[in-house]
Chains A and B, each alone.
Chain A
């Protein structure tokens, strides 16, 4: 979870340094990771076996 926040912090600094493509990709990556985190925390309800 700390890593997801850290990725957003890196994103903010990439935006500050005008690296728009890198920041965009990192935000998309974070969205995918957040969704996977949600699935992980819901694995019992959704009957997902890891």
Chain B
């Protein structure tokens, strides 16, 4: 069960990383430069992934899930602000919609799902918290770390170049 929690946490990080890589796809292939609010949303996703990565490195603790939930809540505010800017009828939206929804709406869904995922993982943690868990530094942890460092560095470079 401890192994399952570790795998789920790593999967959480990989899913968020995939979303951030998809954002880069839209930035460079569709030529849609991110605005400051978009950058704040990307920051929120990196924040959630960093908090979940703490579980892989230091052991699964509720404080790390709480940090992830806080990151998701702050980033949700940013998404809601951006949705509010473009929600009026006849007002132009920012960027091309993806499957009918704008990217900032998808970001709101990602953050909402992150909060639900943290809640589910906390329930799972609650059932098995008495099991001894020694955090390891295997392939899963190393690949999550490498992916996060790569994505954060890429964001630094591209934001500097903008």
Contact = CB atoms under 8 A, between A and B. Distances in A.
Interface in A24-44: 24, 27-28, 30-31, 34-35, 37-38, 41-42
Interface of B: 36-37, 39-40, 43-44, 46-47, 50-51, 53-54, 57-58, 63, 67, 70-71, 74-75, 77-78, 81, 145, 148-149, 152-153, 155-156, 159-160
Nearest to B53: A15
Majority secondary structure of chain A interface residues (helix, strand, loop or mixed): helix
Given A15-B57, A18-B58, A34-B75, 10 more contacts: A5-B155, A9-B149, A12-B145, A18-B57, A23-B54, A30-B47, A31-B71, A38-B37, A38-B74, A38-B78
B53 A12 contact: yes
Given A15-B57, A42-B81, A1 B36 contact: yes
A16 B58 contact: no
Contacts of A5: 43, 46, 152, 155-156, 159
A4 B159 CA distance: 11
B138 to A, nearest CB: 14
B67 A38 contact: no
A28 B67 contact: yes
Q: What's the interface size class on A, roughly?
A: 20 to 34
A2 B57 contact: no
Contact of A12 (B40, B67, B149): B149
Contact of B70 (A8, A13, A31): A31
Nearest to B148: A12
